[in-house]
Amino acid sequence: MSSALTDLFPLPIVQAPMAGGVSVPQLAAAVAEAGGLGFLAAGYKTADGMYQEIKQLRGLTGRPFGVNLFMPQPDYAEPAAVDVYAHQLAGEAAWYETELGDPDSGRDDGYDAKLAVLLDNPVPVVSFHFGVPSRDVLDALRRVGTLTLVTATTPDEARAVERAGADGVIVQGAEAGGHQGTHQDIPENDRSAIGLLSLLGQIREAVGLPLVAAGGIMRGSQIAAVLAAGASAAQLGTAFLATPESGAHAVHKQALTNPLFVRTELTRAFSGRPARGLVNRFMREHGPYAPAAYPEIHHLTSPVRKAAAKAGDAQGMALWAGQGHRMARELPAGQLVEVLAAELDAARTALSSGGAG
């Protein structure tokens, strides 16, 4: 299984699927052409929107790539808590001259329709976030030649991924930017996220599947470290966020290295689920009061976030970023892959010769 996955791309570098318009076909194609595995993010898109991006990507590269799906969410939310939070956000909507979104805009992210597209038009790899697909789904994808990966944030989650029959586990450490891919959204666990190297060691001993390490990785030397710790490849998101091919807003890209934004935190402020981003005014003011209500809060805050982006106001945007964000490099994506590969080779050489990397 490990070779089936890594044989798809010559370099052990995976570009993380970043939803919200960041992981566009141009980015995935540039990474794939440079020898990594590019990914499209189907989250928050329609099934047809996903299909159109797949067609566009295939027109840009003949190399393997992946598509990421969000799992449908069970009904955890208390409507009263969402109403209270909406009342709190009324001032934000007024400030940005917009309306709050409808929290009841859908919970399944078009999951079944997207699966139907991916079974009719198979892609090399499909990954899943926010839970584990059924064995029937994973078997159906396998029958059409698609390899499957599922995010896990604990050893127990990784065991569930293995039991379901996936081909590999994306081991997501606490350092990762964007949403934590926890299988269940339990507020009591918000402060118990495990760091990548510790989590990688625990999951390596828990399951026999190939592992893709994710969380705070920005340099080739860090890729070497997770490979030495048992991963088959490393998944990088924030590192590719600042590239010109990335679909991230210019304000978001600039914020990664702006001295004004010195740290990241996990917050529910923007979506109702724990996600790591640069600490800004919106997060400070609303994070402590945001309920565990995903995707209701995501839908609720979406117009505000879009209006803040349109106004160029970083203080009202969801500035998703991993803990290594200050190490971001504004290089073209293909060149960044080449630099990472050179750094990886140098680190491996240093390790094999007993020197310092």
pLDDT (tens digit, 9 = 90+) per residue, 83-125? 999 999 999 999 999 999 999 998 899 999 999 999 999 999 9
pLDDT of 353 reads: 82
What is the average pLDDT across 6-16? 96
Q: What percent of the chain has pLDDT over 70?
A: 98
pLDDT of 357 reads: 46
* Phi-psi sector, 143: left (phi>0), alpha (psi -120 to 50), beta: alpha
Residues with Cβ within 8 Å of 344's Cβ and at least 6 positions away in sequence, in order, are 11, 12, 220, 221, 223, 224, 227
pTM, entire model: 0.97
Q: Quick one: pLDDT band at residue 145, thresholds 50, 70, 90?
A: very high
What is the average pLDDT across 233-238? 98
Asked if pLDDT for residue 1 goes beyond 60, the answer is no
Which has the closest alpha carbon to 324: 236, 247, 193, 230? 236
| DSSP 8-state class, residue 320 | B
